[in-house]
């Protein structure tokens, strides 16, 4: 039987850093409020000419290098993003061209903050069924372009960045199980109201930016992350004690803490980057993974639980032997 394992990770954060103090000059907010309600201290913001594919390529290159393979060995590219460079072609096709990879399947996955978990699920299925041997799976987002920088309730929460993994065939299960779900009835609690088919060019200015009923999203996120963690562990006859690290979506430190508490996971075994990155949507889990792999916390053989929750609502998890 063929399995998939994470052969390498990579990450990229734009050079420009925007602190809470900087935001105090832009909207009526305080460093204290932002830290207390979200745990965020700073976020990275793409340069004016920097795009989602720029960041995806940078993170992808690092993941390929870490996997110790040639770029030409990649035979599947999936980019999770809700902020693509263009309506078409897909960001994955742009990444493929820029990495000079020939004729592999390349496509985008759109599942908001759960996008990376969806992409990982799909890439894993390709590998175990013999459809790919080295898949480049990237989460990359430029949320700074869909934020209303006059709306203090949303603009303080997000950042830009990209994270990537190379999934390769293996005799042993690296990706042990993946779990993805959606519940579209919550569409209006967290959305960008305008889209291509609903007249993007003619919309009111505010409809082109993120709108969120933060309180309601918060409650749903905590409960859903609790249930997906249970589903994943019970499905594998494991308990929290079998996990080395929880690598959660980085939306809000209070959500991360509440979800960890529901799982019985001490915060010392939870990877937290929300303070430095803010919410980078589908980039957040692979970026957090890459940070912890590179600083030596996550080691080969560790048992990891990834989990994410986002607009849709969508949510997902993966149990991974790194
Ligand atoms: N600075 C100062 N005050 C603020 C700010 C700000 N930046 N933003 C809001 N406030 C005010 C509000 O106006 C409100 O004032 P009022 O009481 O006078 O009306 C007060 O602070 C409290 O606002 P709440 O929204 O109730 O604050 P809450 O404690 O819920 O925190 C937050 C808000 C941080 C948004 C939280 O609800 C949250 O993190 N929600 C979930 C976000 C999330 O997980 N998103 C999912 C993924 S994103 C994706 O998929 C794209």
**DSSP letter string, 9-51:** EEEE--SEEEEHHHHHTTSS--HHHHHHHH---EEEE--TT--
Q: Which residue has the tokens 């889990």?
A: 285
Ligand 1 pocket mutation, candidates 21, 152, 218, criterion most atoms within 8 A of CB:
218
**Which residues, in sequence order, are bridge partners of residue 317?**
179, 307
309: left (phi over 0), alpha (psi -120 to 50) or beta: beta
Distance CA 212, CA 191 (A): 7
Q: What is the pLDDT of residue 192?
A: 94
Structure tokens at 145: 């372009």
Residue 29 · residue 23 · CB < 8 Å: yes
Q: What are phi and psi of 70, to 5 degrees?
A: -80, 150
Q: What is the pLDDT of residue 198?
A: 84
Structure tokens at 208: 């082109």
Q: Of residues 93, 113, 124, 277, which has the active-site annotation?
A: 113
Does a cis peptide bond (omega within 30 degrees of 0) precede residue 140? Answer: no
Q: What is the pLDDT of residue 205?
A: 74
Q: What is the pLDDT of residue 320?
A: 98
Residue nearest to atom 27 of ligand 1 (CA): 215
Q: What is the pLDDT of residue 202?
A: 72
Residue nearest to atom 13 of ligand 1 (CA): 153
Residue nearest to atom 12 of ligand 1 (CA): 153
CATH of domain 176-321: 3.40.47.10
List helix spans (H) across 236-311.
253-263, 274-277, 284-294
* 76-80/134-142 β-pairing: parallel
Closest CA to 109 of 131, 134, 136: 136
Q: Of residues 124, 134, 249, 277, which has the active-site annotation?
A: 249
- CA 250, 290, 147 angle in degrees (round to 5)? 40
Residue nearest to atom 47 of ligand 1 (CA): 310
For ligand 1, which residues put their CB under 6 angstroms from it? 29, 33-34, 37-38, 112-113, 152-153, 156, 190, 214-215, 217-218, 221, 251-252, 255, 279, 281, 310-311
Is 93 among the catalytic positions?
no
Distances in Å between the alpha carbon of 280 and those of 17, 67, 135, 240? Answer: 13, 24, 22, 26
Q: What is the pLDDT of residue 162?
A: 99
Distances in Å between the alpha carbon of 266 and those of 271, 295, 308? Answer: 11, 20, 18
First-to-last CA distance in the chain? 18
Query: CATH 3.40.47.10 residue ranges in the chain?
Result: 3-172, 176-321
Distance CA 175, CA 275 (A): 28
Is 249 among the catalytic positions?
yes
Query: How many A from CA of 210 to the centre of ligand 1?
Result: 13
Distance CA 5, CA 124 (A): 9
Q: What is the pLDDT along the chain (322 residues), one digit of tens a residue?
A: 899 999 999 999 999 999 999 999 999 999 999 999 999 999 999 999 999 999 999 999 999 999 999 999 999 999 999 999 999 999 999 999 999 998 999 999 999 999 999 999 999 999 999 999 999 999 999 999 999 999 999 999 999 999 999 999 999 999 999 999 999 999 999 999 999 888 777 777 778 899 999 999 999 999 999 999 999 999 999 999 999 999 999 999 999 999 999 999 999 999 999 999 999 999 999 999 999 999 999 999 999 999 999 999 999 999 999 9
Residue 148 burial by CB count (10 A; 0-12/13-18/19+): exposed, middle or buried?
A: middle
Residue 237 · residue 273 · CB < 8 Å: no
Query: How many A from CA of 122 to the centre of ligand 1?
Result: 33
Which architecture characterizes domain 3-172 according to CATH? 3-Layer(aba) Sandwich (3.40)
pTM of the model: 0.97
Residue nearest to atom 14 of ligand 1 (CA): 153
Angle in degrees, 0-180, between the axes of helices 214-235 and 253-263, rounded to the nearest 10: 30
Q: What is the pLDDT of residue 216?
A: 96
Is 113 among the catalytic positions?
yes
């Amino acid at each position: 039987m063929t399995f998939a394992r994470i052969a390498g990770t990579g990450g990229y954060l734009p050079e420009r850093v925007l602190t809470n103090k900087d935001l105090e000059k832009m909207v009526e907010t305080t460093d204290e409020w932002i830290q207390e309600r979200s745990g965020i201290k700073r976020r990275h913001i793409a340069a004016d000419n920097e795009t989602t594919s720029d960041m995806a390529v940078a993170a992808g290159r690092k993941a390929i290098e870490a996997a110790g393979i040639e770029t030409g060995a990649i035979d599947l590219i999936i980019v999770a993003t809700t902020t693509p460079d263009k309506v078409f072609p897909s960001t994955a096709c742009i990444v493929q061209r820029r990495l000079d990879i020939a004729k592999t399947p390349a496509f985008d996955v759109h599942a908001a903050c759960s996008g990376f978990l969806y992409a990982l699920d799909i890439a894993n299925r390709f590998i175990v069924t013999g459809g790919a041997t080295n898949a480049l799976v990237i989460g990359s987002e430029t949320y700074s372009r869909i934020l209303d920088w006059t709306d203090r309730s949303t603009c303080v929460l997000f950042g830009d960045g990209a994270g990537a993994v190379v999934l390769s065939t293996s005799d042993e299960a690296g990706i042990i199980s993946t779990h993805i779900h959606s519940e579209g009835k919550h569409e209006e609690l967290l959305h960008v109201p305008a889209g291509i088919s609903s007249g993007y060019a003619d919309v009111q200015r505010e409809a082109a930016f993120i709108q969120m009923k933060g309180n309601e999203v918060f409650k749903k996120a905590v409960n859903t992350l609790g249930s997906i963690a249970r589903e994943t562990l019970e499905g594998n006859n494991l308990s929290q004690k079998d996990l080395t690290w929880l690598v959660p979506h980085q939306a809000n430190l209070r959500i991360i803490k509440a979800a960890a508490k529901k799982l019985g996971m001490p915060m010392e075994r939870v990877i937290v980057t929300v303070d430095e990155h803010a919410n980078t949507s589908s980039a957040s889990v692979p970026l957090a993974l890459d940070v912890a792999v590179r600083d030596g916390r996550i080691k080969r053989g560790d048992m990891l639980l990834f989990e994410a929750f986002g607009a849709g609502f969508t949510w997902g998890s993966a149990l991974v032997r790194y």
